[in-house]
Amino acid sequence: MSVKVGIDQIGFYTPDQYLPLADLAVARGDDPNKYLIGIGQTKQAVIPPTQDVVTMAANAAEQILSDTTKSEIAMVLFGTESGVDNSKASAVYLAHLLGLPTNTRAIEVKQACYGATAGLQIAADFVRVHPAAKVLVIGADIARYGLHSAGEVTQGGGAIAMMVTANPRVLTLDAVSSYHTEDVMDFWRPVYRTEALVDGRYSTNVYLKFFETVWQDYQRQTGKTIADFTAFVFHLPFTKMGRKGLRQILPTASADQQASLTANFEASQEDNRNVGNLYTGSLYLSFLSLLRHGQLQGGETVGFFSYGSGAEGEFFSGTVEPTYRKGFAEAKIAAMLDQRTAVTVDEYEELFNEQLPNDAEDVRLPVGTEHARYYLAGR
Ligand code: HMG
């Protein structure tokens, strides 16, 4: 019998400040309901100049590491599209910060928001061959579109850290999955730009088309139907996007199942609604949100739709383990989200302009706001 492989633990970090999106709507002359209901976002993480993808990843990983697990990590796969270096992998900085053994592979994986899914699937295949190994998979990003842009309301940031092992406590991954790649210009960020270029409405159509394609292919490969699933989690650039994905397939479910899938979707969008887009980490924040706010039972099946612009989509599935609540630090995550401070639109704009990497020796530390263990104090 083949070994069970999947997600053993999940850590999550987002900075300690947020922008209330009703305030942003007023400042931009929009109806707040467009942001709160039409887009489906309530709060947006504001990233201080003291955090980048490496420090955020370290803060997320720290939640799930002990000295013993550190010594067992064979590989670090760091999914990001807002890395700090075009050459050196963020994973190398991270491995050093966390004090991981030097006989560890540490690499960065890039394909827009899909990078962490690529990391997760590579990790799972590695552990299937080396069942004693643990692989640390990261999805960390800062989602930036620019002040006054249409995408501004869909910004955010943070990091997810997942430990992939044999006999996992949270989720056993199914080996079958369906993926699809096409060269599409819906969202991209050339190396000379600090903000993404995006054809926003087109990108939402490509997302839905890719979901349809991989969902159909997954059903064809496995013979499963919607009736086999307890919940679906989506890459959530903004929560309305996943809601549209779910609505695309809901009519094929019974009335009772439609109600329970919708209730599970509500649970899975709660944390994303209050943090914003994490790019690579968004799908996994949504899964964590489902674990935190839903009522899952061991043995139930969850479907995952991962999407990265450019574009790549993947649908895969996993079985929830009865021990799943042991795989994340609920009290720490709840406190981190509850204890964040709201910033004004003016403060947000100032921080937005300071967030960019530069060659300055000092990084301004916002007094009294930096509570994370890992942060940038200088370069
Ligand atoms: P927009 O043009 O400002 O918004 O941009 P809109 O006019 O399309 O309105 C949005 C929704 O609000 C609509 O609902 C309106 O009806 C509704 P829908 O028809 O879509 O259901 N609305 C209201 N609702 C209630 N009360 C009101 C009201 N007014 C309007 N008063 C857009 C929206 C998403 C295009 C923009 O924010 C954007 O460009 N975002 C960035 C791109 C993006 O997130 N794309 C998602 C798919 S691509 C992806 O997921 C990959 C990505 O994560 C990157 C990566 O892979 O690396 C982005």
In whole numbers, what is the pLDDT of the chain averaged over residues?
A: 95
Q: What pLDDT does residue 377 have?
A: 79
φ, ψ for residue 89, nearest 5 deg: -75, 140
For the chain, the distance separating the N- and C-terminal CA atoms, rounded to the nearest angstrom, is 51
Closest ligand 1 atom to residue 36 Cα is: 25
- In the annotation, is 81 catalytic? yes
Sheet holding 156-166, edge to edge: 105-109, 73-79, 134-143, 156-166, 5-13, 171-181, 312-320, 301-308, 231-234
- In the annotation, is 235 catalytic? yes
Q: Alpha helix locations (H) across the chain?
A: 21-27, 32-33, 53-62, 67-72, 90-98, 115-129, 200-222, 239-249, 255-273, 282-293, 330-338, 345-354
Pocket flag, ligand 1, residue 113 (CB < 6 Å): yes
Counting ligand 1 atoms within 8 A of each CB, the residue from 198, 209, 210, 282 with the most, and so the one to mutate, is 198
Question: Quick one: which of 155, 153, 156 has its CA closest to 32?
Answer: 153
Q: Which SS3 state, helix, strand or coil, does residue 133 take?
A: coil
CA 188 – CA 81 distance, rounded (Å) = 10
CA 13 – CA 47 distance, rounded (Å) = 11
Q: What pLDDT does residue 364 have?
A: 61
- CA 36 remoteness from chain centre: 20
Pocket flag, ligand 1, residue 283 (CB < 6 Å): no
Pocket flag, ligand 1, residue 154 (CB < 6 Å): yes
Which one from 113, 152, 270, 312 is the annotated catalytic residue? 113
- CA 30 remoteness from chain centre: 28
Q: What pLDDT does residue 194 have?
A: 87
Q: What pLDDT does residue 355 have?
A: 73
- In the annotation, is 113 catalytic? yes
Burial of residue 125 (CB within 10 Å: 0-12, 13-18, 19+) is middle
Pocket flag, ligand 1, residue 207 (CB < 6 Å): yes
- pLDDT above 90: percentage of residues in the chain: 92
Counting ligand 1 atoms within 8 A of each CB, the residue from 35, 37, 39, 248 with the most, and so the one to mutate, is 39
Burial of residue 107 (CB within 10 Å: 0-12, 13-18, 19+) is middle
**91-105 pLDDT, tens per residue?**
999 999 999 999 999
Stretch (H or E) spanning 232: strand 231-234
Within 10 A of 37 (CB to CB), how many other CB atoms are there? Answer: 11
Which residue numbers in the chain have pLDDT < 70? 1, 356-370, 378-379
Q: Which SS3 state, helix, strand or coil, does residue 314 take?
A: strand
Q: What pLDDT does residue 234 have?
A: 99
**145-201 pLDDT, tens per residue?**
999 999 999 999 999 999 999 999 999 999 999 999 999 999 999 999 988 999 999
Whose CA is closest to atom 1 on ligand 1? 150
Q: Which SS3 state, helix, strand or coil, does residue 185 take?
A: coil
Q: What pLDDT does residue 362 have?
A: 59
Pocket flag, ligand 1, residue 289 (CB < 6 Å): no
Say which residues have a Cβ less than 8 Å from residue 117's Cβ, sequence separation at least 6: 79, 283, 304, 306, 308, 314, 316
